[in-house]
Amino acid sequence: MSPIPELGAIPAGTVNLTDYTAHARSRLDDNAWAYFSGGAADELTLQANRTAWDQLLLHPRVLRALAGGHTRQTLLGRVLEHPIMLAPVAFQRMAHPDGELGTAYAAAAQSAGIILSTQATTSLEHIAQAIVADPGRGPLWFQLYLQHERAFTQALVQRAEAAGYEALVLTVDAPTSGARDRERRVEFKLPPGITAVNLANLPEAPVASLSPGKSAMFDGLLSMAPTWSDIAWLQSITRLPILLKGILHEDDARQAAQLGVAGLIVSNHGGRTLDTAIPTAWALPRIAQAVGPNMPLLVDGGIRRGTDVLKAIALGAHAVLIGRPYVHALATAGALGVAHVIRLLRDELEIAMALTGCATLDDITPSVLFKHP
């Protein structure tokens, strides 16, 4: 077992997820702040993700029987204590020396699922070793970027299987990075000692020889970008269920369902790739309608309140992911901050359920959302 990280102190007056943003800003340098908090281009999608949840209004019911209620959810055959999971975030040791290890301990302590990034600064084996035997932990999933060398990707998948990860989350919405102005302004670079350790020994990608008139993007980088055929290949090399992260269009959702993927994550990469892409709260109900109730759906992007979690469930999600809030909490108070964020969100969800007359997640239906005349 890995040593449990030292706990930080939660600043006085920290009572919600957004409070951690200001605390984190004072603790992170400009380089790390640009990476963790910035979005693509004018950051319109980053802002819209948050606004879209706010614009959904609740239509509560009263005098319902609520005794014995709970937040349990079944996902991929596993019972979750609550529907809150931690999204994959790269390079977490830029936020705190404990990095992903502190996050993993906090998630396990709060029975929250965690998705470890391919670009973690702690090995996937180290994280699994730390929490896999904890009987109260939530799901442990591994986020995957398909690498340019299939043999390396296959070896990475086999490592995740051997370590005890329960699912693969394939990110499909980032064949290239977005135009991130904040990062370009600070000339972002990884600090010394911060690397994607799970990608150690990855051979250099071949450099395309471009003839005149050819594009470095389309004829170079994107010539190695994943396509739908790679999904079938990935399914053929693993026994783990595969979820696709980064779905916004109903047609892509239908195609993924036809390929037999285990679940979908409605995501616009936190507004970090394509600016002016639709907010996830708009995409979620369309995708839920396209694939039906039996396809496990998760959603991320702008979730900051328990009412947002309730709204996501009402729109068809089975669980939600948070990203920036827990990284800001990690930067502020280490593992204790991450645990606090999860607990705050779960408490707020229970309050929202009680005040809308919903004893269980199954009671949260579209009728809890107000329909404008």
Structure tokens that stand for 286 in this block: 């369309």
Return the SS3 of 49.
helix
Name the catalytic one among 23, 82, 96, 269: 269
Annotation says 269 is catalytic: yes
How many whole angstroms separate alpha carbon 93 and alpha carbon 114? Answer: 16
Alpha-carbon distance values, 132 to 104, 163, 166, 338 (Å): 10, 9, 10, 18
Instruction: Give the span between the Cα atoms of 308 and 83, in whole angstroms.
Output: 12
Distance CA 140, CA 88 (A): 11
Q: How far is CA 82 from CA 78, 90, 269, 316, in A?
A: 11, 24, 23, 16
Query: Which among 42, 50, 61, 70 has a CA at the least distance from the CA of 361?
Result: 70
Token representation of residue 95: 């936020």
Q: 4: phi > 0 → left, psi -120 to 50 → alpha, else beta; which? A: beta
User: What residues have CB less than 8 Å from 68, skipping those under 6 apart?
Assistant: 359
| Catalytic sites, residue numbers | 269
